[in-house]
Amino acid sequence: MNIAVTGLFLSGKSTFSKILSKKLEYEYFDSDEYVHNLYKQEKIIKKIVDNFGNSIYKENKFQKKILSDLVFSSLENLRKLESIIIPEVKKEIIRLVKDTSRDLIFEVPLLYENALDSLMDFSILVMCSEVESLKRAHKRGYSKKDFFERIKYFMNDQQKLGKNPIIVKNEGSINNLNEQADQIITYITN
């Protein structure tokens, strides 16, 4: 079985994915971690530097702040980066889905934006209030402006609801996430 977990920036999708993966004893695929590893591949480094310039890659590593500022400053820059990264992520997800010998939880922030939900048996949308998301952003050193720049180009929760996912409401309680995970497990395994 393949289950995707998605949600906006700082909604708690990673936390929930890990809880669900552990409870179901499924393998866990973290798209963000996969992308992090892509950034270490020579061909990806070259493509990104060719598109964004040498200033974003110094001392054998990406200058995350510079790249982030560039990417979230314009839709054109974001689409350039996505055109390099997303095909690689999609290829890996498709490869994993085709391997029917294992069950997986996929954490995929851009699940619906890239029509990857059609590959999944179930899709789960982790949602939290804007107030809670902003608190989390502040704790991680993001300004309110940074937060809104990171979400403005993507589908919002209301648009994602139109895809009929299973809903998880996350306002910060691990106990509540565990309870919701148990309810979802009962639903998907019956």
Domain at 104, CATH number: 3.40.50.300
Q: How confident is the model at residue 33 (pLDDT cuts 50, 70, 90)?
A: very high
How many structural domains is the chain composed of? 1
Q: How confident is the model at residue 184 (pLDDT cuts 50, 70, 90)?
A: very high
pLDDT at residue 59, rounded to an integer: 87
> How much is the average pLDDT of 64-92?
93
H-helix or E-strand containing 44? helix 42-52
d(CA 156, CA 127): 10
pTM, full prediction: 0.91
pLDDT at residue 116, rounded to an integer: 95
pLDDT at residue 146, rounded to an integer: 87
* Largest pairwise CA distance in the chain: 53
pLDDT at residue 85, rounded to an integer: 97
Q: Is the pLDDT reported for residue 172 higher than 80? A: no
Structure-token pair, residue 92: 């890996």
Q: What are 34-44's pLDDT values in tens digits?
A: 999 999 999 99
* C-beta separation of 176 from 170 below 8 A: yes
Structural domain including 143 reads 2-189
Q: What are 112-166's pLDDT values in tens digits?
A: 999 999 999 999 999 999 899 999 999 999 889 888 888 888 899 999 999 999 9
* C-beta separation of 78 from 71 below 8 A: yes
* C-beta separation of 166 from 124 below 8 A: yes
